[in-house]
Structure 1
């Protein structure tokens, strides 16, 4: 076995370990990558890893997935990068497709089956509120950014069409480019040499999927285009993805109910791997009328659609990022893009709460979840398990009362 193949094997094995054990969001993920891939294996230096991760954070798409692929690209080129992508997303994709099967089976065979999720549905909103707080604290540092965030939240409240989101992102970036003179000057700028192959691939897939979806009206193709478009526009991670997907698939297209969406989102927070895996759950339920094969196809198509654009873009940008980031208008535009993303996240909390009953149990579930995330060290999966146990217990209590026990 060659040295390269040995290195491929060890790297893919380490990616698989991460995909099965990386609970707790991007901060925990980065710490695990440093431990496994920097300290133990020495695939990359910590400085290079931090820079790659920062680059992935300012690109649209799933940051953790792009980071894994970028490291694989540095080690073994495109082949290892694509293999890394498959190994990283497959476990979470399978789990979320299985979750879609479970939810659909329970609803078909057990009336009121989603009552077990009575508490984890509002708990999902607690997760979003906590994510919004963390994201805002990290990304909003000026009055202008705060104003942009509030305007974006206001627009998303009242004009929650999926087509308004990319427009707001572009406008936000343009608004803050005038602050380029506040960015530190980087000397020794050299000419940027751009290899356009992966960008053409990214744009070509987007246009082809849109055209085919429009003219064929074939649901798997349209789903791929929907998720590919969303994956091309999401700045800020999996939490920012939520308002996009909720608006498009629940409110705009009615492929899922609000209860199904919230249940899936909460469960996605309790499994390891990429948070974008909720897309597989949505894709599977969107094709439930096609039966079991259709749900499998829907889940896989959604996974391909949501993860591929970020992969293409990181391969495109990583080659010239070191030179591009020296230009101050580029760095200034990121402030506006991040501010708009935060505004969308604020709107998501409201939009997801609106369909729920405004009662004591839901309010306490939201507050309790937020408090546990903010003030305790209880791992996220255990919080979801507590919610499921509480929902099952509530069902039994209601049943006993109804029977006069």
Structure 2
């Protein structure tokens, strides 16, 4: 609802059932290919223009909120839309319906990937690893253009590369984001990009405060509890929770965070990781469902369906907690020039983190000769110049991998 006298865009809960929300988001979960930016376009067409669940200004404010926060942007928007339409059950219904189709497909792929033998099977795996190079390169290119448009932010991105190279693992990535945010406070103030619209959500400040406390308690408490309990299950939950809590700038940024948690710990091999990441490009829905594949192939236990469930819940949970925590305070906080500068610096840093991951492990693990490089370059041209959908490029890469393996 829009208050024309004050200019506030007030978004009220209610007007639909959890069943309606589930059916609507299931359709989106089965058909939304193309990554988070494309998902936001699908949401706008289906929920703003066709179903009129909210107006354009309210939706723009909701998208701005999701892009400001860590976590999977499109899933956070979907979660909030479900909350607004159907209450708490509607929020859960939106998440489940949008997430489970791709998660189920990736779990089934994880079980079947081990059976891929012979030249055809190994060629498909090779192609999936190679297509990851093209897709991550496209993400780096697009994010760099949008998030590093000036010398200050390009320098922050370069500094982030140096930090993650010198400090391996999750520690280096946290340090890079923190350094980028601090640098942004001094280097990225820009009044011309200021946000002036108002936004109001039906979430109490008390509930928001509890959500924020829980977000940080889990982020800092889980490593201690997992170490004290010597529990592999808690360690897995902690690893995926931490990855989900530190993702700024889009779903692809989860790649280096998850690689630091599961590959360098020895739970998942480089080949398994890149094969699953390539497969994740061929399914609709959020890229974060890649966590379901990783949870399935983890070693030691818990793995399989239990591991998939732990990983999937853990990677999404922090994004939803911080969304609920910030909503009551968002209207005032986001208009502060210092807050906007901080986020510009943090977003520039994640470009550097993803750029470093493009080289290692993505490029170094997949490109072992000129044929592999030629296939990766072909996939990149299909994505960038021909604007081919990712699922089609994945099929081309799989066929190319088989050809490389048999010729």
- Cα distance in 1 for partners of 2:252, 2:395 equals 20
Aligned residue runs from structure 1 range 279-358, under 5 A: 279-287=291-299, 289-290=300-301, 294-351=303-360, 352-358=362-368
- Cα distance in 1 for partners of 2:67, 2:195 equals 21
CA contact (8 A) 1:15 1:88 kept: yes
CA contact (8 A) 1:183 1:332 kept: no
Alignment match, 1:155: 163
Alignment match, 2:229: 216
Query: What is the deviation of 1:299?
Result: 0.9
1:263 matches 2:275: yes
CA contact (8 A) 1:220 1:297 kept: no
CA contact (8 A) 2:133 2:366 kept: no
Alignment match, 1:204: 217
1:63 matches 2:76: no
- Cα distance in 2 for partners of 1:139, 1:320 equals 25
| Residue 111 to residue 298, structure 1, CA distance change in 2 (3 Å) | farther
- Cα distance in 2 for partners of 1:255, 1:137 equals 35
Query: What is the deviation of 1:225?
Result: 0.6
CA contact (8 A) 1:93 1:300 kept: no
Query: What is the deviation of 1:186?
Result: 7.2
Query: What is the deviation of 1:307?
Result: 0.3
1:42 matches 2:52: yes
- Cα distance in 2 for partners of 1:188, 1:145 equals 25
Alignment match, 1:19: 29
Query: What is the deviation of 1:263?
Result: 1.1
Which structure 1 segments of 5+ residues have no match? Answer: 399-405
1:364 matches 2:374: yes
SS at match of 2:266: coil
| Residue 79 to residue 207, structure 1, CA distance change in 2 (3 Å) | farther
1:146 matches 2:159: no
Alignment match, 2:4: none
Runs of 4+ in 1 over 4 A off after TM superposition: 3-6, 110-113, 184-189
Query: What is the deviation of 1:12?
Result: 1.7
Q: 1:374 aligns with which of 384, 390, 395?
A: 384
1:117-165 CA distances to partner (integer Å, 9 max, x unpaired)? 2223122111111110001111112211111101111222343221121
CA contact (8 A) 2:160 2:176 kept: yes
- Cα distance in 2 for partners of 1:130, 1:374 equals 7
Aligned residue runs from structure 1 range 391-402, under 5 A: 391-395=401-405, 397-398=406-407
- Cα distance in 2 for partners of 1:221, 1:70 equals 28
| Residue 386 to residue 77, structure 1, CA distance change in 2 (3 Å) | same
SS at match of 2:39: helix
TM-score, length-scaled by structure 2? 0.88
Which structure 2 segments of 5+ residues have no match? Answer: 1-12, 199-203
Query: What is the deviation of 1:9?
Result: 2.1
Alignment match, 2:186: 178
CA contact (8 A) 1:61 1:310 kept: yes
- Cα distance in 2 for partners of 1:373, 1:118 equals 19
Query: What is the deviation of 1:357?
Result: 4.8
| Residue 186 to residue 335, structure 1, CA distance change in 2 (3 Å) | closer
| Residue 112 to residue 257, structure 1, CA distance change in 2 (3 Å) | farther
Query: What is the deviation of 1:75?
Result: 2.3
CA contact (8 A) 2:163 2:175 kept: no
Q: Which moved more, 1:91-100 or 1:326-335?
A: 91-100
TM-score, length-scaled by structure 1? 0.89
1:388 matches 2:401: no
Q: 1:227 aligns with which of 236, 240, 257?
A: 240
SS at match of 2:115: helix
CA contact (8 A) 2:19 2:93 kept: no
| Residue 187 to residue 50, structure 1, CA distance change in 2 (3 Å) | closer
Alignment match, 2:18: 8
- Cα distance in 2 for partners of 1:228, 1:25 equals 21
- Cα distance in 2 for partners of 1:166, 1:280 equals 23
CA contact (8 A) 1:104 1:285 kept: no
1:345-400 CA distances to partner (integer Å, 9 max, x unpaired)? 110111021234531111112211110001113221111112222333444x34xx
CA contact (8 A) 2:122 2:402 kept: no
